[in-house]
Amino acid sequence: MQKRGLFVILSIIFFAQFAIAASDSASSSSYSIGTLHEGISESNGTSSSYQDSETLTIFGGGNFTSSTYSGDSVWFPVIINQTVVAVETPATTTTPTTSGGGGGSISSIVRQVTDLEVVPDSFGINAVAGRESEIKLSVKNIGSKNLAIETSPHNLDGILNFDVSQFSLPSGEIKILTIKVIAPSEAGIYTGKIILTSEGKRFEIPFVINVNSEFSLFDVSVDIADQYKIIKKGQNVRGQITLVQAGLQEEADVKIEYTIKDFEGNVYSTISETIAVIREKSYEYVFKTSDLPEGDYIIGVEVVYSGGVATASHQFKVTSTLFENTDIVILIIEAIIIISIMIILVIIARGYKTKKRI
């Protein structure tokens, strides 16, 4: 009986460890890349354009290597978004106003072509109004048959221009796509998707472009902690907003607009407030998502001041399934492993005492 119990416990540990390894594969919800370092300790990788310490490994953090991508301000973490219905504004808020958002279809990211591996799997870039730049997209055929692929922008006509409209990709090979980005002449935050189509199936890469005025007097950023990048429906999201004066260091009143969009361009909420800024201002903003359906969204922050607009955005996902949040899954699995190890130690200790008595 004792041996049978030990076998069951060891089986639980085995499958739990397997689940952890699977959650850190190249198709995890945090990253979708070909090179992902896994291990008990932290293992770092490097990139000429991006380095991050949030890649999940079994017990530590780890970075990845991207040798195929170069570009400005790219978010490698999976496109995650958000939407706002009501906002708890900081104490410094003055003259807040709110306008309701529009409807439209929910923008969920589609990954029907399972034989493709794309790096990066989402884009978030900064640009200056009217200027051009280039980005690179690595597409690998990880399937067993050749693929005929067509490229197209969605909701980004006139902004994204591909070097090829269609191409053939043999099994195991990689194609590097060059995409010209033409920033709109009007400052703002624009959302859409890069679409790869093969045999009637789609693979979507979310795309956000934060367009700033040519001569920007402010820098703005919005950061969301890891636990809010994938949230359960109705869960609050906390974001850290930072404003920095890039020009004259004197007090100025600016209008802040917080916008929630999906990747179809639908606006779900727009909230504004006027605040005073001198040199630098950082504060936390709490977004409530109780009325948001499942889907992929962005929080956009626009600083509107006399003479220009500065923009920033961050992405996150709303889901009704708790276990889509890999952090929670890993915590549960780790707890199972720890409890199982403790049970095994108790069983071994009892067995040792029994033998000692004999």
Top-ranked range on mean pLDDT: pick from 88-97, 106-115, 196-205, 285-294: 196-205
Q: What CATH topology corresponds to 86-322?
A: Immunoglobulin-like (2.60.40)
Residue 355 has pLDDT above 70, yes or no: no
**Whole-number mean pLDDT of the chain?**
74
Helix (H) or strand (E) run with residue 82 in it: none
| pTM tops 0.75, yes or no | no
Tokens, residue 215: 């001569």
- Report the distance separating Cα 29 and Cα 282, nearest Å: 29
Q: Which residue has the higher pLDDT, 30 or 13?
A: 13
Mean pLDDT of 93-97: 38
Confidence of residue 358 (pLDDT cuts 50, 70, 90): low
Helix (H) or strand (E) run with residue 115 in it: none
- Report the distance separating Cα 133 and Cα 70, nearest Å: 12
pLDDT of residue 227: 85
| Contact in structure between 347 and 6 (CB atoms under 8 Å) | yes
Lowest average pLDDT, out of 93-102, 232-241, 326-335, goes to 93-102
Read off the pLDDT of residues 215-231 as tens digits, 9 standing for 90 and up: 888 899 999 988 888 88
Residue 266 has pLDDT above 60, yes or no: yes
Candidates 257, 308, 253, 316; CA nearest to 281 is 253
The CA-CA-CA angle for residues 339, 343, 345, to 5°, reads 115
- Report the distance separating Cα 245 and Cα 263, nearest Å: 30
Residue 195 has pLDDT above 90, yes or no: yes
- Report the distance separating Cα 16 and Cα 333, nearest Å: 6
Candidates 266, 221, 263; CA nearest to 243 is 221
Read off the pLDDT of residues 128-155 as tens digits, 9 standing for 90 and up: 999 999 999 999 999 999 999 999 999 9
Mean pLDDT of 83-107: 40
Q: Which residue has the higher pLDDT, 326 or 206?
A: 206
pLDDT of residue 228: 85
- Listing DSSP states for 217-266 in one string gives SEEEEEEE-GGGTEEETT--EEEEEEEEESS--S-EEEEEEEEEEETTS-
Alpha-carbon distances of 265 from 207, 259, 268, 298, 319, rounded to whole Å: 11, 11, 10, 10, 20
- Report the distance separating Cα 17 and Cα 3, nearest Å: 21
Lowest average pLDDT, out of 19-23, 41-45, 125-129, goes to 41-45
Alpha-carbon distances of 35 from 19, 38, 52, 112, rounded to whole Å: 19, 10, 13, 22
| Contact in structure between 144 and 118 (CB atoms under 8 Å) | no
Sequence ranges of the chain with CATH classification 2.60.40.10: 86-322
| Contact in structure between 289 and 80 (CB atoms under 8 Å) | no
Helix (H) or strand (E) run with residue 103 in it: none
pLDDT of residue 352: 67
Read off the pLDDT of residues 40-86 as tens digits, 9 standing for 90 and up: 333 333 333 333 333 333 233 333 333 333 333 333 333 223 322 33
Tokens, residue 154: 């969605």
DSSP state of 109: P
